[in-house]
Amino acid sequence: MSAPAPDRPTVAHRPADATRTLGDRLDTATRGLPAPLAVVDLDALDANAADLVRRAAGTPVRVASKSVRVRHVLDAVLARPGFAGVMAYSLREALWLAGLGVQDVLVGYPTVDTGALDALAADPRAAAAVTLMVDDTAQAALAATAADAHGATLRVCLDVDASLRVGVGPFRAHLGVRRSPVHAPADAAVLAAAVEGRGLHVRGVMFYEAQVAGLPDSSAAVRAVKRLSVADLAVRRSAVLEAVQDAVGHPLDLVNSGGSGSLETSASDPTVTEVTAGSGLFVPTLFDGYRAFTPRPAAYFGLDVVRVPAPGWATAFGGGYVASGPATRTRLPRPVWPGGLALSGREGAGEVQTPLRLSSGADLRVGDRVWFRHAKAGEVMERFDAVHLVRGDRVESSVPTYRGEGRTFG
């Protein structure tokens, strides 16, 4: 464990606005704690959680763990009215959470991990808590083999492609992410009929409309795609649900949809039994451009200035926490306090150091702390073994991340 850092000199020329209040609070709260370090502003987190519930308008909100990756925060959010269950991103993660008492875990992605499937089928408590995701008979066959080996019944959910397809023939466009091959009601019915039985029970369907939930309202064209997608899903979800229920011969108790950027439209569909959100708790920079909600950033990481290589420049230690996705500047972390800082176009956020260009009037000295926001929510927590939960200007508690508990799931 590193020794506590000495008090740092005050940064000059800090802007006199809300950003200054944030930076002063975080500096005060973490004084003496070594950097790099991660913090969560609990007041902002509480407000974001309440806003997600408000936007869901009575539809239960399932928490996407990939956007959190801190078990203490997951537990705290699940204890709030309006939240119910976790969407895990790995079956091994789901088994871990179920073993710790989480009673409803939907695995959001298919798995071919035969060892984890065997462990699931061998544990009646886990099998009762965990629902697998499938969009192909090959995935279902692996789960069925594990179920048969232990005389178990495993619950599964069908991942239905929620992208928007427009046009005709060679002029047809796919607007959205590349997820499931199951798109039309007939596709879902064929898969459901093939999956049901042999130790598998189809309990639900999931639709993740990434082109609505995962895109900021950055242009009229994007907003038009969102409107068309919402209208398409309002019809297609019901048709898929009816086709799957007819194919398996029983009603489904799970229809999952949505994300932090689309809670209102997903929750307004009477066929939807729950919505999913995760990024809306921490609000990373990729969520700044949404009109559906007011961003309240809650997660930050702090780096310390270790040298001043030239006038107008300062270099912080660490910081190369680049988000997944296309390799563009939108995936880089953003310095937010003190104001007037920018990443170098040549070096960006570095492996062990991050050069910062200072605008006119800004000043950084060796030992000063700089606060950043990450482009995505939970990914940055993989770089830290602990996160400091700040309320006001003090650390209320310091808790382990998944990594800090010795757990990494991909």
pLDDT 10s digits, 297-347:
999 999 999 999 999 999 999 999 998 888 889 899 999 999 899 999 889
Give residue limits of the domains in the chain.
Answer: 18-41+294-405, 89-279
H or E segment to which residue 401 belongs: none
**For 223-265, what is each residue's pLDDT tens digit?**
666 667 776 788 888 899 999 999 999 999 999 998 888 888 8
Task: Give the per-residue pLDDT at 163.
Answer: 75
Quote the pTM value.
Answer: 0.88
Question: What pLDDT, on the 0 to 100 scale, is given for residue 170?
Answer: 62
Higher pLDDT pick, 142 / 169: 142
Helices (H) then strands (E): counts for the chain: 12, 19
Angle between helices 114-122 and 137-150 (to 10 degrees): 40
pLDDT at 113 over 50: yes
Tell me the C-alpha distance between 340 and 335, whole Å.
9
Q: How far is CA 124 from CA 98, 106, 120, 148, 246, in A?
A: 11, 16, 8, 13, 28
Residue 321, both tokens: 């926490």
User: Which tokens sit at 336?
Assistant: 């937010």
**DSSP label at 223?**
H
Residue range 89-279 in CATH 3.40.50.2020: no
Whole-angstrom distance, CA of residue 13 vs CA of residue 410: 42
pLDDT in tens, 347-392: 999 999 999 999 988 899 999 999 999 999 999 999 999 999 999 9
Q: Residue 181 carries which DSSP code?
A: S
Q: What is the average pLDDT value for the chain, to the nearest integer?
A: 88
CATH top-level class for 18-41+294-405?
mainly beta
Higher pLDDT, 1 or 395: 395
